[in-house]
Structure 1
Amino acid sequence: MKIVVMGAGVIGITTAYYLAKQGAEVVVIDRQMGPGQETSYANAGQLSYGMTSPWAAPGIPVKAVKWMFMKRRPLFIWPLISPVMWKWCAQMLRNCNEESYRVNKGRMVRVSSYSRDVMPDLIAETGIEYDGRQQGTLQLFRTAKQLKASKADQDILAEYGSPYEVLDRDGCIAVEPALAEVRSKFVGGLRLTADRTGDCRMFTIALTEKCIGMGVEFQCGQSIRSIAVENGKIAGVDTEIAGRISGDAYVCAMGSYATGVLNPIGIKLPVYPVKGYSVTLPVTNDACAPQSTIMDETHKVAITRLGDRIRVAGQAEIAGYSNRLGPHATNTVKHVIGDLFPKGGDISRAEGWTGLRPMTPDGTPVLGPTRYENLFLNTGHGTLGWTMACGSGRAVADTVLGRTPEISLEGLTAARYQK
């Protein structure tokens, strides 16, 4: 059986790996010249199993208004004349209630927990290196109000069996000793002990090499013009250079760009590109640098240790398909690393990056079958593509090959958006 996978980010590559592992002939198409060149390139590096939750939550509309007036605000909304953007925002607001939040979170946790369970097997099978660590995530609270508000998160973590620790200031310093330098700037934290970290791009490139060794064919530098439909089935993927590439089945793992090829064939997904920023800088003093991931609750910025580097990522900018990296775009993430770990890394050597997260208004990815019997989806993971990659890749691969996935896809397919 020949499968065509559209997209060579971490989602597409994990899907290709699990397909090839089960004996399928696989072709991967991507417009970039190599794997992991877009959203997978320089994300936060978090494998956020404990922090899996939708952005659409009770209280978010009020918080969003407050964020817009912060000097170093985590949210930007550009007033574009875009019906698609405003419709997506309205859909997200409709999910900002307790009932929707619990349904959506349950669906997301189903995928992330499965991913957490299967990823160690993939690492053991392949032996790939990706600067991985297993030291958890520390959600850092600068105010007593934030610490008190975390009780709601603790209740949800307990409900879903996600291990955590509530830490005072000294407890935070015990797990992240470098914070002793700035102990007056925070009051406590919530540590998610099952979370891991790692370089998503390094993982994607290494897994690509394993896929090549398994016989997977890569068609890089091939922009997809359209998906061809004949007699009610997908007949091929039309590219600008190679022409039509055909197979028995197809997986669309194109992130934010999935809608461009799916809309013309009648699959309407509310996947919108939410822009994020990061900087990567070298560690200059190990004793003064982070050891795992710290999430600054005030600025919604993650600081992650990746080997001899520090990755600092955050912000949400709703501005369409803009990849522009302005001269001041990374000021917020640079401020946070300088504020919490002033001696840990060399900010003057920070490399800036921006990428587009494929967000759904309910936060849940879109996996599995479509109205076409030989077209499958693996997109819409938002900020959690790295976290969910192995789980969603394996579940979708099983579905494509006619096997029953080990997790239910109920509520995860495109069917939830049908009227």
Structure 2
Amino acid sequence: MHILVLGAGVVGITTAWFLQKQGHQVTVIDRQSQAGLETSYANGGQISVSHAEPWANPSAPLKVLRWLFKADAPLLFRPRMDPAQWRWALSFLTECTSAKAAHNIRQMVNLGTYSRSQLQALRQEQGLEYDQVTKGILHFYTNQAEFDGALEPTRIMRELGCDRQVIDAKKAVEIEPGLKHIQDQIAGATYTLEDESGDARKFTQGLAERCREVGVEFCYHTDILGFERMGERILGVHVLKDGHHQTMRADAYVLSLGSFSAVLARQLGLSLNIYPAKGYSITVPVKNEEAAFSVSLTDDEYKLVYSRLGDRIRVAGTAELSGYTRTLNYTRCRAIVRRTAEIMPEAGYWDQAEFWTGLRPATPSNVPYVGKSHFANLYLNTGHGTLGWTHSCGSAAALADIVDGRKPEVDFSFSGL
């Protein structure tokens, strides 16, 4: 079967890989010049099953209100005259109950654990190198209330098989000596040995090359405009390439366009509750090898993640719900630099920070759309929010099973819109 994959980020490329592995002819379409140049370009770098506590939880509404007029807030909601934004926000509030948060944690942990194992198998099979580090992820808390609030989600994750261990400040510094500078500020920590980190762009581009070698075709510099349909079947995709309008046809189609999936789906009457959560990152050269961290870190109070990418440090996080603009907000950029310099003053050349922003395709629940739409030949693999890199291999492998009429190996509520 010939399948068009719409989108060449980490989710689209992993989808292409697993589909071709099952014998399908695959073509990938993207507006960029190569794979991994949008949300996958400079993300936080974590393969983080332990980062499964959804934004929507019982403590979130009060925090959002407190942060509403704070320009450097970890989660910033900028109200707009945008019905999609308000629909998303109202749905987010309905997800903030203890019961729904627990359900969503289960979904995210199950998919994340499965995905991590798929990534590890793929890495070994293909010999992929992407500055990966397999030393686990350490969540540290400099606020007692934040630490106390993490204990129940951590318990749920452990019950689901994510071995996230609660530890004290002393143990945290033993695991990662780079935290010694703030040891007396750490209220507590958790550590998940099985989690990993790595450069998502390097992985995506490396896997895209493997895809090309085994026959996957790529149509870059191609804008996707809409669909041609007949009843409940997609007949083609309208594109603009080299100044010419074309219609590309296949037997089936996979929508993996991140935040832009919702915009395109509306043309088909599909209501995907995805809204862009603009995230920020800084990338800096390592300054002092002894002072720099090697274990990937999560600063939960400030919603920041830290990954070591060879001789570079990547720090990413925060979320700004302000539409589809990718304009850098330097107040938020400087807030990341300020916090990281406080944590590890000698680790990196903080004055040389390279700033980046990308649009993470967030659902109110943080659970992605993976599965079949009500159109006979249109599939969804999108809406992964902050966990696209973590969930990419698992959701791609599961979707390939769904396309072939098999039940996926992972316990997950697959979409059926």
**TM exceeds 0.5?**
yes
Aligned CA distance change for structure 1 residues 408 and 246 (closer, same or farther; 3 Å): farther
| Per-residue deviation, residues 315-367 of structure 1 (Å, max 9, x unmatched) | 11010101001333301211121011110111122110000110111211001
- Give how far 1:408 is off: 4.5
- Give how far 1:214 is off: 0.6
SS of the residue 2:140 aligns to: strand
Tell me if the contact between 2:228 and 2:236 (Cα under 8 Å) persists in the aligned partners. yes
Task: For 1:172-187, list aligned pairs within 5 A.
Answer: 172-187=172-187
Tell me if the contact between 2:199 and 2:309 (Cα under 8 Å) persists in the aligned partners. yes
SS of the residue 2:329 aligns to: coil
Partner residue of 2:94? 94
* Unmatched segments (≥5 aa) in structure 2: none
How many residues align? The count is 414
**2:261 paired with 1:258:** yes
**2:113 paired with 1:117:** no
**2:245 paired with 1:248:** no
- Give how far 1:382 is off: 0.6
| Per-residue deviation, residues 129-183 of structure 1 (Å, max 9, x unmatched) | 0111111111111133333333212321222121122222221111111222232
Partner residue of 2:192? 192
The one-letter amino acid paired with 1:40 is S
Partner residue of 1:279? 282
Tell me if the contact between 2:233 and 2:375 (Cα under 8 Å) persists in the aligned partners. yes
Q: TM-score, structure 1 length as denominator?
A: 0.95
Partner residue of 1:335? 338
Partner residue of 2:373? 370
The one-letter amino acid paired with 2:403 is V
The one-letter amino acid paired with 2:371 is G
| Per-residue deviation, residues 375-417 of structure 1 (Å, max 9, x unmatched) | 10000111000000000011111212333322255x33044xx
Partner residue of 1:412? 414
**2:337 paired with 1:307:** no
Task: For 1:325-364, list aligned pairs within 5 A.
Answer: 325-364=328-367
- Give how far 1:69 is off: 6.0
Which moved further from structure 2: 398-407 or 214-223? Answer: 398-407
Task: For 1:3-402, list aligned pairs within 5 A.
Answer: 3-68=3-68, 72-241=72-241, 243-402=246-405
SS of the residue 1:145 aligns to: helix
- Give how far 1:72 is off: 4.0
Which moved further from structure 2: 267-276 or 46-55? Answer: 46-55
The one-letter amino acid paired with 1:154 is T
Tell me if the contact between 2:35 and 2:204 (Cα under 8 Å) persists in the aligned partners. yes
* Unmatched segments (≥5 aa) in structure 1: none
The one-letter amino acid paired with 1:250 is Y
Tell me if the contact between 1:225 and 1:239 (Cα under 8 Å) persists in the aligned partners. yes
- Give how far 1:70 is off: 5.7
CA distance in 1, matches of 2:151, 2:104: 20
Tell me if the contact between 1:72 and 1:299 (Cα under 8 Å) persists in the aligned partners. no
The one-letter amino acid paired with 1:292 is V
SS of the residue 2:50 aligns to: coil
Aligned CA distance change for structure 1 residues 60 and 327 (closer, same or farther; 3 Å): closer
Identity in percent? 39
Q: TM-score, structure 2 length as denominator?
A: 0.96
SS of the residue 1:286 aligns to: coil
- Give how far 1:63 is off: 2.0
- Give how far 1:71 is off: 7.3
CA distance in 2, matches of 1:70, 1:191: 30
